[in-house]
């Protein structure tokens, strides 16, 4: 996270719901109520959506039939005149002479997609668990179900605490790796929510990263190996490389014992950020040596299939000259590279073109985008500004530069941007914000929309494919071939006026009036 951190923690009871935290005075009442219920829709034998509709009195409104046709469409405008609105069109029986035709080219293929999602932090779980069970289940179904919702398919969690945990802790705060154990925040918050999500979508991928190692493993620097008793800053003492690798293995195994498979890990969240409320500074040489001599061999010896991704930080390497090309420098060491699936990036500094640079230099390695935030500093609740920018920068911008997955930060915070610690981000918004006066009223922010527009039509295992034809300023798109015999297509119209865009898969075509300042997502069956 790109904020200055303090190293203070309020008094928090993690074991129950009576968690004390300071929140800002509620400034306004949120007015959008959600009371979700399932609407059956058959699309290609598998495609249904949950409709959310209620008024302030929770009285039921008539169910609006979901449009049917050859092509299923979701549309969101930055003004919310359309709000993930379902539409459908049929293929045209006429010859296609439209000059605004974009044609899919499945013969030219790029990366295979892993999925799209958000972080399930301690703060997110706290808010979710204060919802009524039925309301929470409805929200999680709408979000994660591939059958009855938008099909979010990737989750990021922390190993130990993060800057949006309810306190600062690791799973081995007493010196000695034999003292490893999951803590109350995992047991009472993270695991129950993950289990509820996995019951809805068993195919969810989970990626995890530590914000800090146990404090007893820290030193002030590698030249001055004085122990550092601080959650913030410090470096991993090489004497504890093996213990720390064991910590990862034990943590992955502990989650497995709870029914949670960990798909991937990174050795350190934001390794060049010394100022996070929980943090550990880890230069590329350190990460190389830790992965090569300890983490990789121990995970292999334990028979774990969990992937390891390097780096997990900004495009610009925090402008530290010696750290530029951080993952590439590790890849150049074959003994370390063998354990790395690829690298993960955040967008708090630099340009997404770095993704393409890394891909071109190391095409055999994968790329993930694992964190971005919205907040007071970037008009995070102003959808008229954020929807287009985040779709361009975060969603299609990373995908079109070879990322296999896209993950945003907190899935849910409350309307006072909490719960948060003084040492964490005080100015962040969630992908959704929930009203802490009722823990029912929800407003979606841009990050929810951009992930929903991807996950609703682009499924895990899809291959990104090329497009040819019409181009224009303000038009950005990406096309995919799903494993179930469908095509997916996502398009941004960042122009003020609508555009009638024709989409062709080479055999059939359809036209759609794309509203100005909107995102549209399409899915249809390939011809047999």
Tell which of 420, 437, 455 closes a domain.
Answer: 455
Let me know if residue 520 belongs to a domain: yes
Whether residue 128 is predicted with pLDDT greater than 90 in this model: the reply is yes
Q: State the pLDDT at residue 421.
A: 87
Whether residue 16 is predicted with pLDDT greater than 90 in this model: the reply is no
Q: What pLDDT band is residue 65 in, cutting at 50, 70 and 90?
A: confident
Rounded distance between C-alpha atoms, residue 385 and residue 404, angstroms: 26
94 and 122 in a single domain? The answer is: no
286 and 337 in a single domain? The answer is: yes
Rounded distance between C-alpha atoms, residue 475 and residue 388, angstroms: 11
Let me know if residue 13 belongs to a domain: no
User: Token digits for 478?
Assistant: 């990406």
Whether residue 258 is predicted with pLDDT greater than 80 in this model: the reply is yes
pLDDT tens across 196-229, in order?
Answer: 999 999 999 999 999 999 999 999 999 989 999 9
- Whether omega before 419 lies within 30 degrees of 0, making that bond cis, reads yes
Tell which of 455, 472, 503 closes a domain.
Answer: 455
Rounded distance between C-alpha atoms, residue 245 and residue 311, angstroms: 17
Let me know if residue 35 belongs to a domain: no
What is the per-residue DSSP string for 336-360? Answer: HHTT--EEEEE-SSS-THHHHHHHH
Q: State the pLDDT at residue 289.
A: 98
303 and 401 in a single domain? The answer is: yes
372 and 297 in a single domain? The answer is: yes
Q: State the pLDDT at residue 60.
A: 53
154 and 83 in a single domain? The answer is: no
Let me know if residue 326 belongs to a domain: yes
User: Token digits for 87?
Assistant: 């539409």
Please give the residue range of the domain that contains residue 444: 114-455
498 and 517 in a single domain? The answer is: yes
Q: DSSP class of residue 227?
A: B
97 and 174 in a single domain? The answer is: no
104 and 122 in a single domain? The answer is: no
User: Nearest-CA neighbor of 458 among 188, 213, 110?
Assistant: 110
Q: What is the rounded average pLDDT of the residues 370-389?
A: 97
Let me know if residue 281 belongs to a domain: yes
pLDDT tens across 462-493, in order?
Answer: 999 999 999 999 999 999 999 999 999 999 99
411 and 474 in a single domain? The answer is: no
Q: What pLDDT band is residue 62 in, cutting at 50, 70 and 90?
A: low
85 and 129 in a single domain? The answer is: no
Q: Does residue 340 or residue 23 have the better pLDDT? A: 340
Let me know if residue 33 belongs to a domain: no
307 and 336 in a single domain? The answer is: yes
Q: How many CA atoms lie within 13 A of 142 on its CB side?
A: 21
Q: What pLDDT band is residue 70 in, cutting at 50, 70 and 90?
A: very high
Let me know if residue 2 belongs to a domain: no
Q: For position 82, which CATH number holds? A: 2.60.40.1180
Q: For position 441, which CATH number holds? A: 3.20.20.80
pLDDT tens across 20-58, in order?
Answer: 333 333 333 333 333 333 333 334 333 333 333 333 334
In contact, 154 and 207? CB cutoff 8 Å: yes
Total count of domains within the chain: 2
Let me know if residue 14 belongs to a domain: no
97 and 213 in a single domain? The answer is: no
Tell me what the pLDDT averaged over the chain comes to: 90
């Amino acid at each position: 996270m790109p904020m200055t951190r303090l190293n203070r923690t309020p008094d928090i009871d993690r074991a129950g719901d009576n968690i004390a935290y300071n929140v800002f005075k509620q400034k306004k009442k949120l007015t959008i109520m959600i009371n979700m219920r399932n609407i059956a829709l058959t699309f290609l034998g598998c495609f249904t959506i949950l409709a959310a509709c209620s008024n302030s009195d929770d009285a039921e409104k008539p169910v609006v039939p979901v449009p049917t046709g050859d092509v299923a469409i979701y549309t969101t405008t930055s003004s919310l005149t359309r709000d993930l609105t379902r539409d459908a069109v049929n293929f045209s029986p006429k010859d296609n002479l439209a000059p605004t035709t974009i044609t899919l080219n499945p013969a030219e293929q790029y990366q295979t997609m892993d999925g799209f999602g958000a972080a399930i932090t301690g703060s997110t779980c706290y808010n979710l668990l204060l919802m009524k069970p039925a309301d929470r289940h409805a929200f999680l179904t709408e979000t994660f179900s591939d059958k009855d919702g938008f099909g979010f398919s990737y989750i990021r969690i922390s190993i130990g605490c993060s800057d949006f945990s309810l306190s600062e802790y690791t799973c081995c705060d007493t010196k000695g790796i034999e003292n490893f154990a999951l803590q109350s925040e995992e047991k009472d918050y993270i695991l129950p929510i993950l289990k509820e999500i996995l019951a809805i979508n068993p195919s969810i991928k989970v990626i995890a990263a530590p914000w800090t190692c146990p404090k007893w493993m820290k030193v002030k620097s590698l030249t001055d190996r004085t122990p550092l008793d601080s959650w913030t800053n410090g470096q991993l003492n090489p004497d504890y490389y093996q213990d720390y690798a064991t910590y990862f293995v034990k943590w992955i195994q502990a989650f497995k014992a709870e029914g949670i498979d960990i798909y991937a890990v990174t050795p350190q969240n934001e390794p060049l950020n010394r100022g996070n409320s929980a943090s550990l500074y880890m230069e590329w040489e350190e990460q190389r040596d830790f992965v090569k001599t300890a983490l990789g061999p121990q995970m292999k010896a334990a028979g774990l299939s969990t992937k390891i991704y390097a780096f997990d930080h900004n495009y610009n390497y925090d402008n530290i000259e010696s750290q530029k090309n951080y993952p590439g420098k590790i890849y150049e060491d074959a003994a370390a590279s063998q354990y790395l699936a690829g690298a993960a990036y955040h967008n708090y500094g630099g340009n997404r073109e770095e993704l393409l640079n890394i891909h071109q230099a190391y095409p055999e390695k994968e790329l993930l985008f694992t964190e971005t935030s919205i907040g007071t500093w970037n008009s995070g609740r102003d959808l008229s500004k954020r929807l287009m920018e985040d779709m361009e920068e975060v969603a299609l911008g990373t995908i079109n530069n070879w990322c296999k997955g896209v993950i945003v930060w907190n899935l849910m915070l409350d309307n006072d941007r909490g719960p948060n610690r003084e040492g964490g981000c005080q100015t962040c918004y969630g992908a959704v914000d929930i009203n802490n006066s009722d823990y029912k009223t929800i407003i979606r922010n841009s990050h929810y929309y951009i992930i929903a527009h991807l996950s609703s039509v682009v499924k895990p295992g899809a291959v990104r494919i090329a497009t040819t034809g019409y181009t224009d300023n303000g038009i950005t798109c990406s096309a995919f071939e799903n494993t179930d015999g469908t095509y997916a297509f996502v398009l941004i119209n960042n122009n003020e006026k609508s555009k009638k865009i024709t989409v062709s898969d080479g055999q059939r075509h359809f036209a759609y009036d794309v509203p100005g300042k909107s995102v549209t997502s399409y899915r249809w069956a390939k011809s047999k």
